[in-house]
Structure 1
Amino acid sequence: MSHPASDVHPFQARAPEADLDDLRARLAAARLPEAETVRGAAPGRHRWDQGVPLADLVEVVDYWRTGYDWRSFEARLDEIGQFRTTIDGLGIHFLHRRSARADATPLLLTHGWPGSIAEFVDVAGDLADPEDAGAPAFHVVVPSLPGFGYSDKPATTGWGTEKIAAAWAELMGRLGYRAFLAHGGDWGGNITTVLAGRFPEHVLGIHTTFAEGPPGLTTDGLTDVERAWTEETRHFWRHRAAYAKQQATRPQTIGYSLVDSPAGLLAWILDKFAEWSDTEDSPFETISRDRILDDVTLYWLTRTGASAARIYYESHNSLDPELRVDVPSAITVYPRDIEKYPLPWARERYRRIVRWRTPDRGGHFPSLEVPGHFVQDLREGLGAVLAERR
């Protein structure tokens, strides 16, 4: 953590108008398959049993082509503050919103797949400068994972979660934040765990929605609810995780479609927003079309469908079974998330759990689905972490 702050440079993203015209032309010429054979099913999750229903995709493709405004998202990123730096030879893009409060604590937020920095654009301001003077404030840092968004695409293997965690520690030190808090879900939760386990001298504590216990733990002594969680998680990996197996074994193959076809990219990502959100019929019950399209368009314009998929090749099932987290940890398990681990299992890895919550609503993307609750929960969880250190 020795590089000077001069290695950090302001950044602005401006997609060429030709790229936006090309996107619209490709959408207009999209060649779509016939409707799913469960077509006509009553509204509900069964409509999605074969994947994204044709009617839903047609509607979103039309809006993406004729109504969506990418420039407003670019302006939103500029408003928060964008920067780039180079770590271990790879350009890393990140958002950085410093709080106006003198008592603010640095906070690193890490996204996952199929998310991006778009997961946090609606909450960064509230976390940095809360209206309530009694609420904690944070200097917010949101990096784009290697191969995602405006970060560079690794040209060699090796950029797995361990290396990313080390890069994040370097990034925070480069910004002058020798000690900081960290939050993440999905891959961001995995990276946050590695960061806390490997760099406890710099990580004050963590908040995560993904608290994976070590392998091989028994279900003996678990409650009925906790046993149900383990069954749901096992069912997910056995029957609903084909996307992960594909990206972990053949990311290049699926990558051709994700980089060449915007409709294909949209379907690949929209399917996960639908399946993993706490909704009954459509992800748009809780997440706006614009925010999902911000995320998908970011993948499209940066041509990162293949490079982002490679995080699975690099790190699938790679979390060190011996890794332990001794810094204070706050954990929130949302009811419709795809992996839920019981508290007794989480305690085997996270040795100082200071706050454990199981909200009534929310899924895999809480910062987008329930942003108000997410911000409050994050504040309270990190508040408990900081109180534990006093």
Structure 2
Amino acid sequence: MAVTAFHISVPDDVLDDLRARLHRTLFTTASDSTFWAAGVDPGYLRELVAYWADGFDWRKAEAALNAFPHYRAEVAGRQVHFVHLRGRRTEGGPEPLPVVLTHGWPSSFVEMLRVAPLLTEPDDPADAFDVIIPSLPGFLFSELPQGVFTRRGVAEIWHSLMTETLGYRRFGAFGGDIGGGVTQWLGALYPGEVAGVHTTSAVLTTDFSERPATAEEQAYLDGLAEYDVRDQGYSEIMWSRPDTIAAALMDSPAGLVAWIIDKYRDWSDCAGDLETRWDKDTILTVATLYWATGSIGSSFRQYYDYPHNRPVPTITVPAAITLSNEPAYANLPRSLPERVCADLRHWSTPGRGGHFMAHEEPEQVADELRTFFRPLRTEG
């Protein structure tokens, strides 16, 4: 399982074609006079596309990304891309604790880059982490898995990456969204190697046959179902007809970035103002990565294969939740994740930082990770 250094380098002809397509973009008109009420505001999209075509400096963004150490390795027969940052080491001091940070959709490794240096270079060297940030299978520079895409399957790949490829004996895990499911599967499957699991969202058991939902839990589940009716249009097409929508997004960079920022605005803790959390350069860095790798369609695989996922079994390793401040998790009772996590040691509701918390509130996430994992460094 050889590890090779990796350098991001988008060919000039790809960028030239992208710019030409952006200049030819056709825009729709708003279906509702209320700003963003019917999806991405056409006026904002026009402004963003114009900047992407004639203002955004991809080569500057590419150089900033390449300042991080990137690698690829063959794991389970497929290429996995990851960033690997070594934590500060002091003579006679403890070794940094390895931690794997897993993003979700429509995200990327970029989500974790703001928090990574805070983890590798803390004020107290005893709190240092080695940080590993893989790209999910089918996202950007990581190949789709062999067979179906499940959270459990990704956890198995990550375990192999961490223990066999990188040689870590013990490690922690953090993530949200898909990454939260992968993180919890790591804890459920590998209690001998996983020191603890920390998520910003809760994976809920769907089996209430032995212990019916309490009134508080049912009220939350009913509210979540109501929210999903308003929010789930994007997922309905991606799990039922992913190739249809992918055909449009693979051909239109404007459509691609619209599809992404629709969820960035909805799920971020931005009070409706997208750029308080995602400036244009960061948005377009992510969009250009998706465009240049042609991976928006393959990123949908985890939706199409979603029915193959099973409820996460009981997690016995120490667990932590720093709850995302987004509508899907409003009023989530602690008792629901406690049905899955037998040892929920850390429960935090800071009230800031949404679906992409590591990007939105990196200092908060770094502090929460240090606090949770500090006593676990010497356990096991």
Decide: shared fold, TM above 0.5. yes
Mapping of residues 158-169 of structure 1, within 5 Å: 158-169=148-159
Residue 350 of structure 1 aligns to a residue whose secondary structure is coil
Residue 335 of structure 1 aligns to a residue whose secondary structure is coil
Residue 339 of structure 2 aligns to a residue whose secondary structure is helix
**1:64 maps onto 2:64 in alignment:** no
Mapping of residues 7-26 of structure 1, within 5 Å: 7-26=2-21
Q: 1:364 Cα shift?
A: 0.6
Which of 33, 38, 42 matches 2:32? 38
For structure 2, which runs of at least 5 residues remain unmatched after alignment?
none
Aligned to 2:205: 214
Structure 1 residues 260, 60: CA separation in 2 closer, same or farther (over 3 Å shift)? Answer: same
The one-letter code sitting in structure 2 at the alignment partner of 1:334 is S
Question: What's the TM-score, normalizing by structure 2?
Answer: 0.92
Aligned to 1:350: 341
Aligned to 2:43: 55
| Alpha-carbon displacement from aligned partner over 1:39-97 (angstroms, at most 9, x marks no partner) | 2x3xxxxx222100111101111111122122233223322200001112211110000
Q: Distance in 1 between matches of 2:74 and 2:44?
A: 40
- The question of whether the paired residues in 1 share the 8 Å contact of 2:203 and 2:312 is answered with no
Structure 1 residues 382, 289: CA separation in 2 closer, same or farther (over 3 Å shift)? Answer: farther
Structure 1 residues 231, 90: CA separation in 2 closer, same or farther (over 3 Å shift)? Answer: same
Q: 1:378 Cα shift?
A: 2.2
**1:140 maps onto 2:131 in alignment:** yes
Greater shift in the superposed pair: 133-142 or 331-340: 331-340
Aligned to 1:127: 119
Q: Distance in 1 between matches of 2:308 and 2:342?
A: 20
Which of 234, 238, 241 matches 2:225? 234
Structure 1 residues 15, 197: CA separation in 2 closer, same or farther (over 3 Å shift)? Answer: same
Aligned to 1:254: 245
Q: Distance in 2 between matches of 1:347 and 1:386?
A: 23
- The question of whether the paired residues in 1 share the 8 Å contact of 2:266 and 2:272 is answered with no
Aligned to 1:78: 66
Q: 1:244 Cα shift?
A: 1.3
Which of 95, 99, 115 matches 1:103? 95
- The question of whether the paired residues in 2 share the 8 Å contact of 1:80 and 1:125 is answered with no
- The question of whether the paired residues in 2 share the 8 Å contact of 1:106 and 1:180 is answered with yes
Q: Distance in 2 between matches of 1:164 and 1:303?
A: 21
Q: Distance in 1 between matches of 2:372 and 2:61?
A: 29
Aligned to 1:372: 363
Percentage of matched positions with identical amino acids: 37
Q: 1:220 Cα shift?
A: 2.3
Residue 349 of structure 1 aligns to a residue whose secondary structure is coil
Q: Distance in 1 between matches of 2:267 and 2:223?
A: 13
Aligned to 1:203: 194
Q: Distance in 1 between matches of 2:156 and 2:77?
A: 13
- The question of whether the paired residues in 2 share the 8 Å contact of 1:96 and 1:140 is answered with yes
| Alpha-carbon displacement from aligned partner over 1:119-171 (angstroms, at most 9, x marks no partner) | 011121111112x12661110000111110111245x5423222211110010
Q: Distance in 1 between matches of 2:125 and 2:228?
A: 42
The one-letter code sitting in structure 2 at the alignment partner of 1:70 is W
The one-letter code sitting in structure 2 at the alignment partner of 1:162 is R
The one-letter code sitting in structure 1 at the alignment partner of 2:69 is G
Which of 183, 189, 193 matches 1:192? 183
Q: 1:236 Cα shift?
A: 2.7
- The question of whether the paired residues in 2 share the 8 Å contact of 1:98 and 1:139 is answered with yes
Q: 1:273 Cα shift?
A: 0.4
| Matched pairs, number | 371
Q: Distance in 2 between matches of 1:364 and 1:317?
A: 22
Aligned to 1:44: none
Residue 85 of structure 1 aligns to a residue whose secondary structure is strand
For structure 1, which runs of at least 5 residues remain unmatched after alignment?
42-46
What is the Cα-based RMSD across aligned positions, in Å? Answer: 1.9
Q: Distance in 1 between matches of 2:12 and 2:337?
A: 48
Residue 248 of structure 1 aligns to a residue whose secondary structure is helix
Q: 1:29 Cα shift?
A: 0.4
- The question of whether the paired residues in 2 share the 8 Å contact of 1:77 and 1:95 is answered with no
